[in-house]
Structure 1
Amino acid sequence: MKKLLSLATMVILAVSVLAGCGGNGDSSTGSTGSTTAAGKFDSTKDITVISREASSGTRGAFDEIMGLIEKSGNSEVNKLFSEAVIASSTDEVPAKVEVDKYAIGYTSIGAVNDSVKALKVDGVEATEENVKNGTYKVSRPFIIASKGEASGIAADFIQYATSTQGQEIVKSLGFVTIDGAKEYTAPSTALSGKLILSGSTSTEKVIEKLREEYVKLNPGVSIEVTYNGSGAGIKDAQEGKSQLALSSRELKDEEKAALTPTVFANDGIAVIVNKDNTTTEMTTEQIKKVFTGEVRTWDKV
């Protein structure tokens, strides 16, 4: 009887040791470090693709850079994965990635926070410096566009946004400054009236600060801004519904025929994943395959 009890005790101890050592099935495979242990990253799970709405300037720039737009005769076909989750604003993308361990998305580098992780793209980090020196290729301009040549308050606001004072604001918010800025001086004859802008949600942080500081210098001016996406803002300016359009992508040739664009900042588009994701970098080709749905799990990246 004592021998049986001793044998049973040894078996229990052996099982406990195995359990303590992760005998429950913790394994690691692939470049992303797949693991099936509770709470860990499992790279065999499906990737959640998060993109922006069709009118987004960020999406327009991202799709073009990543080759998601393909020509078909005289038209263009967008190859975005049909089951992609669509986010309606700049800040919504990192919010969705933060709560989904297997998600991937993209957003302005100015909108990246500690809740998500920005990947290196083609070996280059998504930083202000790398956008400025041209090594980080996933980048785009921030544009203010007027119907014809801007005048009055609209022209003066553009002058402020591109001035040394305006560029200090651009830099302070993590965006990339333009070259050739000059000091802004308020007009000797005080301006008064309303300025209406509409467009890119990606520009919201910098435009709100520019608006705040501009009105301090020109208290007779009020500025109304609607953040409804680059495409909608461009259309508003073309139709005369707003005086200035805000775009986070280059204007198309047909848009340039009606609007005069001015670059007031530059921005990188960060490719972001959940902080639990063990992936640290991807190539543009890998990103394209994920966003078209050709690659569906992290262990295939």
Structure 2
Amino acid sequence: MKSKKLLALALSCVCALGAFALVGCSSGGGESSDGSAPAENGGAISVISREDGSGTRGAFTELFGVLDDNKKDATTSSAVVTNSTSVMMTTVAGDPASIGYISLGSVNETVKPVKIDGVAPSAEGVKDGSYKVARPFNVVAKDGMSEVAQDFLNFIMSAEGQEVVDSEYVSVADSAASYTASGKSGKVVVAGSSSVTPIMEKLAEAYEALNPDVKVEVQQSDSSTGVQSAIDGTCDLGMASRELKDSELSQGVKPVVIAMDGIAVIVNNGSSVDDLTSDQVKGIFTGDITDWSEIA
């Protein structure tokens, strides 16, 4: 008799666990395990942006018209602010309802880039003009830079340097002259944009291989900090992933475009959103569109 009671109790526990599992698998609201609604089911959009001073943010707001009547940044105050490309990608990868933006050259399998106005982001699209969301990568310096810094810049703009650029971005010097190792020694400090940093590190590695007595130190921050560091003379070359402002140019720095890069609008890999119009992106980042159900 006792064994029959134990068997009945065991069976009731199994049934209860099975019912619980079914409820758990069908969350009722279509939410993910962290409570966020995936884009295909509607739900509040998680807007992820970059920090003030980011060249990518500046270029993004200009290109999509995320601006107020005074041409000032009009990014919604509800946006989550991230301070680098890597943090942006990690944030979007971890939030099924999110949308953000990064340098095209930084896209990897952790996030999904979406088409803009029917065109997929690609280096080829930037080069032929079909993908319109593009901006320059600049290095900036004041007159009188050191000979070794000038030599490094010469390498960047050479055929060999532009070949490095072309591996992930869009080169800007199709008929550049070949570079010959200079035999110089010393140190070059390059500082600024987190978007430019990855290609600058590859350029530094290639240059150092030809000039083993030179150390190129790449310091990551943001575009505004990079430009200001060049103005202040605390670095040899500043990195900016946007056009320079008149207020910066008036302080004696000159930009050199070393590459062109697209800006990719990214969503979580679990999102069903594959294509957005420019107006939809603008609406999302200004706060006019707040729910994924508003995206046709």
Q: Give the TM-score, by structure 2 length.
A: 0.84
How many residue pairs end up in the alignment? Answer: 265
Q: Does 1:299 align with 2:290?
A: no
Tell me how far apart the structure 1 counterparts of residues 195 and 31 of structure 2 sit (CA, whole Å).
Answer: 38
- Report whether the alignment pairs 1:196 with 2:194: no
2 CA distance for matches of 1:223 and 1:59? 27
In the alignment, what sits opposite 1:57?
A: 55
1:38: how far off?
A: 6.4
Cα distance 1:261–1:180, how it changes in 2: closer, same or farther (>3 A)? Answer: farther
Which of 243, 246, 250 pairs up with 1:253?
A: 246
> Any conservation in 2 of the 1:43–1:297 contact (CA below 8 Å)?
no
Distance in 2 separating the partners of 1:112 and 1:223: 25
Match of 2:279 in 1: 285
Per-residue deviation, 1:150: 4.3
CA distance in 2 between counterparts of 1:281 and 1:49 reads 17
**2:208 is equivalent to residue 219 of structure 1:** no
Contact 2:146 2:236 survives alignment (8 Å): no
Secondary structure class of the residue paired with 2:68: strand
What CA distance in whole angstroms lies between the structure 1 residues aligned with 2:208 and 2:67?
40
**Counterpart-to-counterpart distance in 1, 2:77 and 2:31:** 30
Corresponding residue number in structure 1 for 2:100: 105
Cα-to-partner distance string for 1:173-197 (whole Å, 9 max, x where unaligned): x21111332211122xx31222111
- 1:36 matches 2:34: no
Task: Give the gaps of 5 or more residues in structure 2.
Answer: 1-21
What SS does the aligned partner of 2:238 have? strand
How far, CA to CA, are the matches of 1:218 and 1:110 in structure 2? 26
Task: Report the alpha carbon displacement of residue 253 of structure 1 after superposing the two structures with TM.
Answer: 2.2
Unmatched tracts of structure 1, length 5 or more: 1-19, 27-34
Instruction: Indicate which of 167, 171, 181 corresponds to 1:177.
Output: 171
Q: How does 1:9-20 map to 2 (within 5 A)?
A: none
8 A Cα contact 2:99 2:265, kept in partner: yes
| Equivalent residues in 2 for 1:119-130, closer than 5 Å | 119-130=114-125
**CA distance in structure 2 between the partners assigned to 1:37 and 1:77 by the alignment:** 36
Structure with the bigger percentage of helix: 2
- Please give the alpha-carbon distance, in whole angstroms, between the structure 1 residues aligned to 2:190 and 2:31: 51
1:76-116 Cα deviation digits (max 9, x unpaired) = 53211101111111121121111100000000111111121
| Counterpart residue type for residue 257 of structure 2 | V
Q: Report if the CA contact (8 A) 2:103-2:263 is conserved.
A: yes
1:89-104 maps to which residues of 2 (within 5 A)?
89-104=84-99
Q: 1:142 aligns with which of 137, 141, 152?
A: 137
1:231-270 equivalence runs, <5 A: 231-257=224-250, 258-270=252-264
Amino acid at match of 1:140: R
The aligned amino acid for 1:223 is V
Q: Which residue is equivalent to 1:47?
A: 45
CA-CA distance at 1:290 after TM superposition:
0.3
In 2, Cα distance between the equivalents of 1:102 and 1:43?
10
Deviation for aligned residue 1:25: 9.6
* TM-score with structure 1 setting the length: 0.83
State, as a whole percentage, how many aligned pairs show the same letter.
41
Separation (CA, whole Å) in 2 of partners of 1:282 and 1:230: 27
Between the aligned partners of 1:78 and 1:38, the Cα distance in structure 2 is 32
CA distance in 1, matches of 2:236, 2:194: 17
Q: CA RMSD in A?
A: 2.0
Residue type of the alignment partner of 2:165: V
Take 2:88 and 2:155, find their aligned partners in 1: how far apart are those partners? 30
Amino acid across the alignment from 1:299: S
**Could you say what secondary structure the match of 1:94 adopts?**
helix
Aligned to 2:149: 154
Q: 1:165 and 2:163 equivalent?
A: no
My pick for the range that moved more, 110-119 or 174-183, is 174-183
Corresponding residue of 1:7: none
TM-fit CA distance, 1:70: 2.8
Q: Distance in 1 between matches of 2:51 and 2:62?
A: 15
CA–CA separation in structure 2 for the residues paired with 1:252 and 1:279: 35
User: What amino acid is aligned across from residue 62 of structure 2 in structure 1?
Assistant: E
Structure 1 residue runs of 4+, over 6 Å off? 37-40
